[in-house]
Structure 1
Amino acid sequence: MRYFFEDLSLDTDQRELRRGEEMIAIAPQVFDLLEYLIGHRERVVSKDDLINTIWQGRAVSDVALTTRLNSVRRAVGDSGDEQRVIRTFPRKGVRFIAAVRETPGPTTATPGGLPSVISGKPSLIVLPFANLSPDPEQDYFVDGVTESLTTDLSRMAGIFVIGRNTAFTFKGTYVDLKLIRGELGVRYVLQGSVQRGGSRIRINVQLIDTETGNQLWAERFDKPIADLFDMQDEIGARLANQLGTELVTVEARRAARAPCADSMDQYFQGMASVNRGSDPSNLVQARRFFEQALDLDPTNLDAMVAMAFVDTMRATSMLIDRTAPLRMVEASLDRILAKTPNHAMAHCLMGVVQIFTKRAAQGIAECERSLALDRNLATAYAWIGLGKCNLGCAEETEAYVMEAFRLSPRDNRAFSWMNTAGVAQSYLGADEAAVHWFKRSIEANRNIAPFVNFYLAAALAHLGQIEEAQAYLRAGLILAPDFSIAQFHASSPTDHLTCLAQRVRIAEGLRKAGLRPE
């Protein structure tokens, strides 16, 4: 196994710790301690854990344990004061907190010692953003944006990101793309600039192909200045979410031209299908790509999670009989999380499954855990909002939806967040607000699931707009011709008494629109 973090790599088979091409001398026991901390980075490791594992239960003084931990910190360029990589939790233990990428097999190294992933996962370096403001003291903010974006991108599935320390060696220097490609083995460079003027701040960013020098994507972020530290996080989150979608598109185009597609090529083509929309044809096509990815590499975790995503979206769009397919997804996610317990999206999907199978409180907890692992997983906020709705707290839902939009305002899943907000407003009897959200959802995604038409018809009927309500009811029945008020009640994802009472009102709206009882 190889772990990559910061600008370091830890090879557990060769028992080597490297920074670039430099081998770092490390005592065997210190190596074992570092490997254990990285391998159990999803939790705080106690003193007893370390003694039982590293020292096989022998008596060890606190001084000896502290000395070994300090040796680990020195080896990775950390310190007890900084605690950037290993954090101490008083009276509880320690935890490895740096972002980690891992590969199960050997990785070919470039002359610079870093993994060459030009032919594998898309590889990226975020170069230090340029400060275009006249005030050089703004450098701290500009560097903070760069670091925040690097951290956020490193959490994304299928992307290898060069560590911050290596990236910052290029600060203030002319960058030769061919040199970066040759030395670091990266496929893409992300460059940007920050300019502060008066009460506004503007950030320009561009993604460049290191082979051709072509600009693949560019974005401008312009907004009023608020709290600078909050802005660092928000800017990093928005850019990371947008860039993730763009990288999938670029990689899918590259994979489609490849003479012999590998497992990751198939994965990215599947993700590109997902990003084109959640209509049945796109999801079916995406699943085929993920199946092919797993045929080529049964250990491709990204493809496993992506397939679970597709199956979850297909099952949750069903009006009835969704329980059996969701149970199958849950079994798949159990297997994934047994192997990789800190996979943010897998926890989020598990939360969705639970929210749709009358376990909303558990589902919310799973989505919250996913956010602890990846603070920018915008869709998790929207699912928490739906979970709140299913717990009889629909008045809390819209705030979660708006947080999802704050993190990823152009997200390709935004139409489903609008549905969630509409459902919550329907539960609250706020029919005008519900109509607003449902119509926005339909405008964002014309290949909408039938339930949106039914909910919209009910809200319009309560507003006395019967003809329009009937039109949306007919549109829903084209997609689900056997649907009835009895099936609406049977399809409830919640058995919370408050919610069941709220759903009675929605059923009455469906009756007014003309839906048959049985």
Structure 2
Amino acid sequence: MCRVGLRAMVQERPVRVERRLSAILAADVAGYSRLMHNDEEATHAKLSALLTEAVQPAIAEHGGHIVKNTGDGFLAEFPSAVEAVRAAMQFQTSIHELTIGDVEDRRIAFRVGINIGDVIVEPHDIFGDGVNIAARLEGVAEPGGICISSSAYDQVQGKVGVEFGDLGEQNLKNIARPVRVYRMRPCNAATRPQASLLHRDTPQIGWFPNMFGGFPIRLWPALRARRARMALVIALLFLLSGGVAYWYMHQGEPQPLNHRLSIVVLPFTNLSNASEQEYFAEGITDDLSADLSRIEDSFVIAPSTARAYKNVDPKRVGRELGVRYILDGSLRRTDSLVRINARLIDARTGAEIWSERVDGDWSKSMQLQDIITGRLARRLDLELTNQESRDAEVMRPNNPDAVDLTMRGWAVLNQPYSREQLSQSRALFERALQIDPGFPKALVGLAETLAMEVNYRWTDAPADQLRRAESAVGQVLSKFPSDAMAHFVRGEIQRASGRNVEAAVGEYEAAIAINPSLAPAHGALGAAKIRVGRSAEAFAPLQMAIQLSPRDPLLSTWYFYIGHAHSHLGQYEGAIDWCGRSIAVQPLWIAYADLAAAHALTGHEREAYAAVAELRRIRPSYTVTEWLQDGKGWSDNAVFLAEFQRIADGLRKAGLPE
């Protein structure tokens, strides 16, 4: 019995599980699903080439091996954390160089997470918390970036030639304990040395921000000759001597910021202490981060990182995350009312720059979240641009660069339209493009001013201006086909031309698909619907524009187009109401035209004459004939022109000269 029992115990003893301590590297392609959706075969071919040419050689060179491929990424194992980080730095730099000429929305970029952990080993895989943490760290990293755990950081600190930013403790999905995360920033083309300074056979330099503000790490191939290695040592010693001296002089200073519109959206505080409001507050934070990331030249910290900085001193947030602005706020629900308070803070000084309050109906919480985030994103876009413009004028009043001039151009363009305002804005964009002819934000701004001058009949050379505008926006869309603002401006060009306005509708709809919070695109879509003879469809996009940005510089224009749609539909009381609202915000000449016609067609003679008098005060020589010429210039759609003729009849009754 004893022997049988002992034999059974021996037979039931579990098989020994092989374990070892390893450095685990997890990587995936940022936006892989989108890339495959856009072009499946090209993405697969490019990814395979990058793995073969950049990833696999770097991993092998540093003593690692790929455990498995995961479709959109891979898992690798190394005997050393230092070698894992060096391999990641090497292949990230190589991938950046190999893809730098690719169109932005088709560019492949890896996110990398590295951890040290005890893993379970099987013939073709590894398992355990150490692997899971590496995979979650990959999700925290930015495209082109590297994030490592504190266990890996302890091993690599001071050994890989770069510094890591401390992101604090992060709650990673399905990981029981918070993990302290450190981030190495991604390669930045703006900080790379100019190609003209490099000899043809000089190896490429990977730039990663560190305590020297961009210390170059030269990644030499493994088989370089001894002479090359000696040159590297000399170069490193030279740079190190200067770097150490710089560090002693500047230690403790905040790192220079590469992005002027850099911002972190901190978690909004739920003042209601109810779990459903907590989810709503988190949704606002995540959606705002996504919307702000669509602003051209913006740099927005990921929400997963932002959550670690809740209730942290603004100056520390700015210093550690490398951002200039912080957005935080609170949410409070009382019965069916939800109130959102948001404020924009200058991370350098801790001072509040701007604040906004938004109220909404909790019973419509799904739509409310979209409206709130869209409204705040539009206001922030305007406010950040204005703030950067003011800063540039103060700091560089006599020597503005292309970015300064562009910010100032947009600050002027974001004001209510007038002939002088558009002329001033256009001149600023043209000065910026003299300095940097290919600067996308300046090209889009120039195209917008040129189109608006044509649309409002404030130019004597409309055809030439539209050609210039199309050329400018075409340059941007050829490189950045998913630029929402560029699609919107191309729509403005096509609408201003008055021919094939249906194409303008398509461009506005494309812009909205890319950025649903782009209020001007909604407003312009409504205006274009009138010009294609579908005035009844104009109200919804115009009302959405107003919901998204109720204090927008374009508000008077949107009010007018609602009134104009009523005029085209023969709903003259509605036209009187909305044209009156438009004039109360800003007295546009065209609003007086519709107002005069609507009053005349409803028998309000005195009001009609008064409106014509105001119209003639703004445009002294304006006539019915000019009105009809303007209509033909705005659209060749037969339905639009017939409706426009009815408004002309009203202007005649109101006393406008023929």
Tell me the TM-score normalized by structure 1: 0.80
Q: Which residue of 2 aligns with 1:249?
A: 386
Residue 69 (str. 1) matches residue 69 (str. 2)? no
Residue among 578, 590, 604 paired with 1:465 = 604
Residue 47 (str. 1) matches residue 40 (str. 2)? yes
Contact 2:266 2:328 survives alignment (8 Å)? yes
Residue 222 (str. 1) matches residue 359 (str. 2)? yes
> What is the distance in 1 between the residues matched to 2:371 and 2:542?
16
Q: Which residue of 2 aligns with 1:169?
A: 308
Q: Which residue of 2 aligns with 1:289?
A: 428
Give the CA deviation at 1:145: 1.1
Residue among 330, 335, 338 paired with 1:193 = 330
- 1:274-285 alignment runs, 5 A limit: 274-285=413-424
- 1:334-373 alignment runs, 5 A limit: 334-356=474-496, 357-373=498-514
Contact 1:116 1:184 survives alignment (8 Å)? no
Q: Deviations over 1:385-424 (max 9, x none)?
A: 1222122211121122111111111111111111211211
Residue 109 (str. 1) matches residue 209 (str. 2)? yes
Q: Which residue of 2 aligns with 1:325?
A: 465
The alpha-carbon distance between structure 1 residues 117 and 161, as it changes in their structure 2 partners (threshold 3 A), is farther
Q: Could you say what secondary structure the match of 1:190 adopts?
A: strand
Q: Which residue of 2 aligns with 1:90?
A: none
Contact 1:110 1:183 survives alignment (8 Å)? no
The alpha-carbon distance between structure 1 residues 487 and 117, as it changes in their structure 2 partners (threshold 3 A), is farther
> What is the distance in 2 between the residues matched to 1:74 and 1:468?
65
> What is the distance in 2 between the residues matched to 1:112 and 1:131?
40
Letter in 1 for 2:571: A
Q: Which residue of 2 aligns with 1:143?
A: 282
The alpha-carbon distance between structure 1 residues 337 and 143, as it changes in their structure 2 partners (threshold 3 A), is same
Q: Which residue of 2 aligns with 1:98?
A: none
- 1:103-502 alignment runs, 5 A limit: 104-106=189-191, 109=209, 111=211, 118=257, 120-136=259-275, 138-171=277-310, 174-259=311-396, 260-318=399-457, 322-356=462-496, 357-446=498-587, 448=588, 450-492=589-631, 493-502=634-643
The alpha-carbon distance between structure 1 residues 284 and 320, as it changes in their structure 2 partners (threshold 3 A), is closer
Give the CA deviation at 1:197: 2.9
> What is the distance in 2 between the residues matched to 1:293 and 1:202?
41
Letter in 1 for 2:190: G
Q: Which residue of 2 aligns with 1:93?
A: none
Q: Could you say what secondary structure the match of 2:424 adopts?
A: helix
Give the CA deviation at 1:44: 2.3
Give the CA deviation at 1:113: 9.4
Contact 2:452 2:492 survives alignment (8 Å)? no
> What is the distance in 1 between the residues matched to 2:48 and 2:258?
41
Alignment length (residue pairs): 463
Q: What's the RMSD between the two structures over aligned residues?
A: 3.5
Give the CA deviation at 1:52: 4.2
Give the CA deviation at 1:133: 1.6
Give the CA deviation at 1:196: 2.3
> What is the distance in 2 between the residues matched to 1:455 and 1:102?
55
Give the CA deviation at 1:74: 7.4
Q: Could you say what secondary structure the match of 2:190 adopts?
A: coil
Structure 1 residues 147-156 or 331-340, which shifts more? 331-340
> What is the distance in 1 between the residues matched to 2:213 and 2:363?
41
Q: Deviations over 1:465-498 (max 9, x none)?
A: 3343233324333444443333322222222222
> What is the distance in 2 between the residues matched to 1:253 and 1:231?
33
Contact 2:26 2:135 survives alignment (8 Å)? no
Q: Which runs of 5+ in 2 are unaligned?
A: 1-22, 50-66, 75-108, 114-133, 144-185, 193-207, 215-253
Give the CA deviation at 1:276: 3.0
Give the CA deviation at 1:243: 1.8
Q: Which runs of 5+ in 1 are unaligned?
A: 1-22, 57-63, 87-100
> What is the distance in 2 between the residues matched to 1:137 and 1:508?
57
The alpha-carbon distance between structure 1 residues 221 and 398, as it changes in their structure 2 partners (threshold 3 A), is same
> What is the distance in 2 between the residues matched to 1:350 and 1:481?
32
Q: Deviations over 1:223-263 (max 9, x none)?
A: 22124333222211111111222222222221110134332
Q: Could you say what secondary structure the match of 1:156 adopts?
A: coil
Q: Could you say what secondary structure the match of 1:358 adopts?
A: coil
> What is the distance in 2 between the residues matched to 1:340 and 1:125?
24
Contact 2:443 2:476 survives alignment (8 Å)? yes
Structure 1 residues 312-321 or 497-506, which shifts more? 312-321
> What is the distance in 1 between the residues matched to 2:538 and 2:142?
36
Contact 2:213 2:256 survives alignment (8 Å)? no
Contact 1:117 1:186 survives alignment (8 Å)? no
Q: Could you say what secondary structure the match of 2:417 adopts?
A: coil
Letter in 1 for 2:563: G
The alpha-carbon distance between structure 1 residues 110 and 442, as it changes in their structure 2 partners (threshold 3 A), is farther
Question: Whose Rg is larger?
Answer: 2
Give the CA deviation at 1:167: 0.7
Contact 1:320 1:491 survives alignment (8 Å)? no
> What is the distance in 2 between the residues matched to 1:158 and 1:458?
45
Contact 2:566 2:574 survives alignment (8 Å)? yes
Letter in 2 for 1:67: T
Give the CA deviation at 1:332: 2.2
Letter in 2 for 1:152: D
The alpha-carbon distance between structure 1 residues 55 and 145, as it changes in their structure 2 partners (threshold 3 A), is closer
Q: Deviations over 1:81-109 (max 9, x none)?
A: x9x999xxxxxxxxxxxxxx996522783
Letter in 2 for 1:238: R
Letter in 2 for 1:402: Q
Structure 1 residues 451-460 or 299-308, which shifts more? 451-460
Find runs of 4+ consecutive structure 1 residues off by over 6 angstroms.
76-79, 112-115
> What is the distance in 2 between the residues matched to 1:228 and 1:102?
40
> What is the distance in 1 between the residues matched to 2:544 and 2:513?
15
Q: Percent identity?
A: 33
Q: Could you say what secondary structure the match of 1:44 adopts?
A: helix
The alpha-carbon distance between structure 1 residues 104 and 461, as it changes in their structure 2 partners (threshold 3 A), is farther
Tell me the TM-score normalized by structure 2: 0.64
> What is the distance in 1 between the residues matched to 2:328 and 2:337?
21
Q: Deviations over 1:172-221 (max 9, x none)?
A: xx412222222222111111111223222222211111222111112222
> What is the distance in 1 between the residues matched to 2:40 and 2:569?
50
> What is the distance in 2 between the residues matched to 1:396 and 1:355?
17
Give the CA deviation at 1:111: 4.8
> What is the distance in 2 between the residues matched to 1:43 and 1:442?
49
Structure with bigger RCO (C-alpha 8 Å, 6+ apart) = 1
> What is the distance in 2 between the residues matched to 1:295 and 1:41?
36
The alpha-carbon distance between structure 1 residues 67 and 159, as it changes in their structure 2 partners (threshold 3 A), is closer
